[in-house]
Amino acid sequence: MAAFTTATVLAGIGAAAAVAGTVGSIKAQKQSQAAQRKAANAQKQQQTLARRRSVRQNVRQAQIARASVIAGGAAAGTAGSSGEAGSTGSINSRLGSAIGFSGAQSALSGIITSANQSAADANTRANIFSGIAGLGTTVFGAAGGLGAFGIGGPSGASAGTQGAVAGNAYS
């Protein structure tokens, strides 16, 4: 039966802590990703509601302006004139322009939200892989690193300790 040294026990504790930390990190990152998706969906709904409200407000203003032109034409005795037709045509044109602009803004907001979500998802994946790499590095070092393969120095769990001591010659 192999004897457990302090270095072996510490390496085991370190590896277990690395595993627990990586698992916890991955779980938290997935929760963060889900929360970001929920926020992005809520933001899209908010943008849709704002666009609808803007369109209703523009239509309402156009109706008021059109009614004012028609009432003014009737009072002046110019109802149905080319001036009245030009004014109402202009109102309709501005309404169409405002609705088109609102739609374009809404579409761009959706694109921005989606791009931000994609970036957050990629960042989450990068953090997960970083945690896995850190875990692998910890386990590799605890197992003796390259020395465990008979390459480049002493083997076994104490190899990392010996390398650390040699590296601190100036302390």
Q: What secondary structure letter does DSSP report for 4?
A: P
Average pLDDT, the chain: 79
Of 92, 105, 114, 117, give the one whose Cα is nearest residue 53.
Answer: 105
The pTM of the whole model exceeds 0.75 = no
Number of residues that this document lists for the chain: 171
| HEC secondary structure over 94-107 | HHHHHHHHHHHHHH
pLDDT band at 64 (very low <50, low <70, confident <90, very high): very high
The model's pLDDT over 89-111, given as tens digits with 9 standing for 90+, comes to 999 898 888 888 888 888 888 88
pLDDT at 20: 81
pLDDT at 29: 81
Q: In this structure, what token pair is assigned to residue 88? A: 């109402």
3-state DSSP: the chain helix, strand, coil percent, rounded to 5?
85, 0, 15
The model's pLDDT over 3-58, given as tens digits with 9 standing for 90+, comes to 677 767 777 777 777 778 788 878 888 888 888 888 888 888 888 888 889 889 98
Extents of the domains making up the chain: 9-135
pLDDT band at 63 (very low <50, low <70, confident <90, very high): very high
Q: Any idea which of 115-124, 142-151, 156-165 has the lowest mean pLDDT?
A: 156-165
CA gap 55, 68 in Å, rounded: 20
pLDDT band at 169 (very low <50, low <70, confident <90, very high): very low
Distance of CA 21 to the CA centre of its chain: 23
